[in-house]
Structure 1
Amino acid sequence: MPPDKVAEYADGLCYTDLMAGYYTAAPDDVLQAIADYSAWFFVWDDRHDRDIVHGRPEAWRRLRDRLHTALDHPRDHLGHRDPVVAGLADSVLRLYGFLPDTWNARFARHFHAVIEAYDREFHNRTEGIVPTVEEYLELRRLTFAHWIWTDLLEPSAGRELPEKVRKNPAYRKAALLSQEFAAWYNDLCSLPKEIAGSEVHNLGISLVTHEGLTLEEAIADMRHRVEECIREFQQAEKDALRFADVLDDGTVAGKETGTAVRTCVGTMRNWFSSVYWFHHESGRYRVDSWDDRSTPPYVNNEAAGGK
């Protein structure tokens, strides 16, 4: 993004505001690190998009490989000449400082999977392949980084959760529903931009292509899925809070774990309000005011790696 575009658009994109609305219980240094990582994620997403639009497979492959390496060795990449690589290194190095190495390794494992999912999206978009609905939903859980944002609940709560807690069905269902809502609502709000750009990666586009729905029917289907996420979460939230009560068994460890789970579940609830607010306040989705409905006006098509 050129400097003049930063001045004109950065605040209006609301990227850090989005995170401030999610992780409300996080200490300031944790929230700042998450917010910066989120802003980096949007920049990376735009670079990925421009590499597709302008047919730059070699640039994308270089970036993919460098991100994998920077994720495992962030300290060695802080001064990398590509600011997207250096930005990831800076972000994850800060995130790795809050919880034990076991959390760091899990975060890295989950983000390696996200990078590879972006690579699969690159292939689908360059080849014009519209995934089936089920294929898309599975891939979307990775490209939206469901488990990354769920991992970040823990430093916000100040405690790494044991595996048996994270994999408990009540906790896991509530976490998944909060992310499904966010991903599908994002698809709904992104649909005009992605149709204008001849996109293939959007739930609505998969519904039209593979389920034979009209555009209006696909939008109605997406709205229904979003509403179901909200209804199902309300029950899942109750189950997860009951699970937190069970964990709080009178021991010090039990009380700390139960408290952390309650904090995490409260943050899951925040996703709904903050995602809704963001998509109606951020300049990222105001396609009707753009000269080209497929391209945000702040994007520089000659970004690094693209010349």
Structure 2
Amino acid sequence: MPAFPYSTTYRTTYRTAGTVTAVAVPPSLSLPVIEAVFPRQLHPYWPQLQENTRSWLLEKRLMPPDKVAEYADGLCYTDLMAGYYLGAPDEVMQAIADYSAWFFVWDDRHDRDVVHGRAAAWRQLRRRLHAALDFPAEHLQHEDPLVAGLADSVGRLYSFLPKTWNARFARHFHEVIEAYDREFHNRAEGRIPGVDEYLALRRLTFAHWIWTDLLEPSAGCELPETVRKHPAYRRAALLSQEFAAWYNDLCSLPKEIAGDEVHNLGISLITHEGLTLEEAVEEIRRRVEESISEFLVVEKDVLRLADRLADGTVHGKELGAAVRACLANMRNWFSSVYWFHHESGRYMVDSWDDRSTPPYVNNEAAGEK
């Protein structure tokens, strides 16, 4: 039996914006617990969000107009964020959605730089992104749209919470940029990391702590370190992100095998643990399902933490409410990630003319001649 039996998919339904839509989910990727226990929700600002982010991609020249017109909505980048950061003020939601769209475009540029051997272009971009992250106002008019786009989106994100939050976000994203550099060299050398090395790298390239940081402006409150580093809160945050990264690996394995990728849990398991493709898929599914089960347990511990924080004072009430809001959105991440992978054209490899070249990328990116 093939690991991804697309020919025997079943159809399930979900509700968005008042309509019911049928989505095909392969049995090997189906997670009934997500469909039953993690109801799908979308931020009410979503329709405007989609329109504004599409316009932002055009304004910042992050995608060519023909690619935006044909693919932007179908890639569902705004759907992913609108299903995650429920309760965020509209301007926060918009800044997060634009930053997320930028992140996907950056990921595609990184991929094309690897594929076309543009090592010098990547080194230059890496330096520029570090600089734009620290001094966004100085890079808003940068000649490279990717640098200017980062400056614009993070500059807006920096406006919502105190400088201490900004410094933490910047520190976390500097680490992400460096992790992408390690990925670049691994791919250029054809080096497949071992399982433990891969899992540690994945937490950075998937930007676990960036998406977790963004829970706070969505809740309108910077959480104190004692809360962020509380074992239950930190574990719940990590589990929601691990689920997303591993489910992404499960869904993108065919695409990444087709594209000669070296960074996927399944590829590491096959290479270093001697598993067959089918066994690797089964192991990733096991990890995915365990992350869901463990989250449902630790979620109760975080709710108890929120109750203790709400100590009768005004500050305590606000802090407890913020923790509850962050936890609720960690929960939303499960369903949003799940449906994104079955709605987004980013994973529909079988519909591409060239399985190794996504149709929505621009092969004439900066640095390619």
Same fold (TM over 0.5): yes
Determine the C-alpha separation between the residues in 1 that align with 2:161 and 2:64: 35
Structure 1, 286-295 or 107-116: larger mean CA deviation: 286-295
- 1:87 and 1:239 map into 2 onto residues whose CA distance is 39
Question: Which of 266, 284, 290 pairs up with 1:204?
Answer: 266
2:342 to 256, 268, 280: 280
Where does structure 1 lack aligned partners over 5 or more consecutive residues? none
| Structure-2 residue corresponding to 1:60 | 122
Q: Is this contact kept in 2: 1:178–1:268, CA < 8 A?
A: yes
Residues 1:109 and 2:171 are matched in the alignment: yes
8 Å CA contact 1:19–1:35 kept in 2: the answer is: yes
Q: Which amino acid counterpart does residue 73 of structure 1 have in structure 2?
A: F
Higher relative contact order at CA 8 Å, sep ≥6: structure 1 or structure 2?
A: 1
SS, match of residue 249 in structure 1: coil
Counterparts of 2:112 and 2:167, CA distance in 1: 30
The CA deviation string for residues 175-199 of structure 1, in whole angstroms up to 9 with x for no partner, is 0000000001111111111000111
Q: Return the structure number with greater helix share.
A: 1
- Choose which of 73, 79, 93 in structure 1 pairs with 2:135: 73
| Aligned residue type for 2:243 | F
Tell me the amino acid that sits aligned with residue 172 of structure 1: R
Task: State whether structure 2 residue 248 is matched by structure 1 residue 186.
Answer: yes
- 1:163 matched to 2:211: no
Residue 259 (structure 1) shift: 0.5
Is 1:124–2:186 an aligned residue pair? yes
Worse-matched range after superposition: 71-80 or 296-305: 296-305
Letter in 1 for 2:355: R
- 2:195 corresponds to which of 123, 127, 133: 133
For residues 24-103 of structure 1, what are the structure 2 equivalents within 5 Å? Answer: 24-103=86-165
Any stretches of 5+ residues in structure 2 without a counterpart? 1-62
- Deviation string for 1:140-192 (max 9, x for gaps)? 00000000000000000000000010000000000000000000111111111
Alignment match, 2:322: 260
SS at match of 1:64: helix
Residue type matched to 1:154 in 2?
Answer: E
TM-score (norm 2): 0.83
Contact 1:193/1:295 (8 A) holds in 2: no
Q: Which amino acid aligns with 2:359?
A: P
Secondary structure of the 2:324 match is: helix
Distance 1:5 1:141 in 2: 30
Q: 2:281 aligns with which of 209, 215, 219?
A: 219
Give 1:17's aligned residue: 79
Correspondence for 1:305 = 367
- Cα offset for 1:2? 2.7
Superposed displacement of residue 294, structure 1: 1.7
The one-letter amino acid paired with 2:165 is: W
1-structure distance, mates of 2:282, 2:241: 20
Q: How many residues align?
A: 307
Q: C-alpha deviations, 1:277-299, integer Å up to 9, x for none? A: 10000000000011111221111
User: Which one-letter code corresponds to 1:16 in the other structure?
Assistant: T
CA distance in 2, matches of 1:236, 1:94: 33
TM-score by length of 1: 0.99
What is the rounded CA distance, in whole Å, between the counterparts of 1:30 and 1:120 in structure 2?
31
AA at the equivalent of 1:62:
Q
What letter corresponds to residue 104 of structure 1 in structure 2? N
- 1:5 Cα deviation after fit: 1.8
Q: Is the 8 A contact 1:245 1:258 kept in 2?
A: yes
TM-superposition CA deviations, 1:85-115 (whole Å, max 9, x none): 0000000000000000000000000000000
Distance 1:3 1:157 in 2: 34
In the alignment, the residues of structure 1 paired with residue 225 and residue 112 of structure 2 have an alpha-carbon distance, to the nearest angstrom, of: 38
Name the SS of the counterpart of 1:22 in structure 2.
coil
Contact 1:130 1:201 in 2 (8 A): yes
Alignment match, 2:234 = 172
Instruction: Check conservation: 1:192, 1:293, Cα contact below 8 A.
Output: no
Q: CA deviation at 1:236?
A: 1.1
Query: What is the alpha-carbon distance in structure 2 between the residues aligned to residue 43 and residue 251 of structure 1?
Result: 45
Q: What is the identity percentage for the equivalent residue pairs of Structure 1 and Structure 2? A: 82
- Please list every run of at least 4 consecutive aligned residues from structure 1 whose deviation after the TM superposition is greater than 4 angstroms: none
